[in-house]
Amino acid sequence: MPLVLAAALLTVFSSRNPSTTGERIRLTINASSPITGTVIVREGDNILGQSNIVPFDVTPEFDTPGIHKITIEDQGGASTTFEQYVGDVVTSLSLAAPTSAKSGQELTLTASLPCCGSDPTGSVTFSDGATVLGVAPVSGGSAMLKVSLTGGGSHSIRAVYSGDVRFSPSAAVTRIVVQVQQRRRAATH
């Protein structure tokens, strides 16, 4: 009677789950007993790594958010599946601007994003109510736009970050009160 060996129990450990898009993670593959042949780590048809010695590591980087189903299998019939959750970095946008200005005065609007290990890209759209004032690229974690506001009263300034492959969109609002200078009339006698 031939001796039948039970298949090894394969396990996987993720250095970070969930992770963010574009982040390189480490998956450590191990087995409860000796493996048969080569262990292959794949997502669908994409081979992420393989080895005939366990434990071993693979270091994938996922560019799309969602649930990535990872299959680990050896040639002896042992296999397991693993789900790596990948999401976008949630951002919060802050908007700095003067709280008051004179009509026609040049102002600098600055939208800032917290830097999360790498600088966000994309753009920020600045608006005054429904009127788009301009679009500025994000550089070094912030975007700046110089504007001149006319018309007296309170202006609701909104900044909207477009987001990019790794960072989620976000928005911020502030108010600027624009004072209209009254022209003095010459006195008539």
Domain at 94-179, CATH from 3.40.50.11540, 3.40.50.300, 2.60.40.10, 1.10.10.10? 2.60.40.10
Structure tokens at 123: 């753009």
The chain-wide mean pLDDT, for the chain, equals 85
The CATH 2.60.40.1930 domain(s) of the chain lie at: 10-87
pLDDT digits 0-9 by tens, 5-16? 456 789 999 998
pLDDT digits 0-9 by tens, 16-46? 888 888 889 999 999 988 888 899 999 999 9
pTM of the model: 0.58
pLDDT of residue 5: 46
pLDDT of residue 116: 55
pLDDT digits 0-9 by tens, 67-84? 899 999 998 888 999 999
pLDDT digits 0-9 by tens, 127-136? 998 899 999 9
pLDDT digits 0-9 by tens, 137-163? 998 888 999 999 888 888 889 999 988
pLDDT of residue 117: 47
Q: Please give the CATH topology (third level) of the domain spanning 10-87.
A: Immunoglobulin-like (2.60.40)
The CATH 2.60.40.10 domain(s) of the chain lie at: 94-179
Instruction: Look at 57-61, 112-116, 143-147 and tell me which has the smallest mean pLDDT.
Output: 112-116
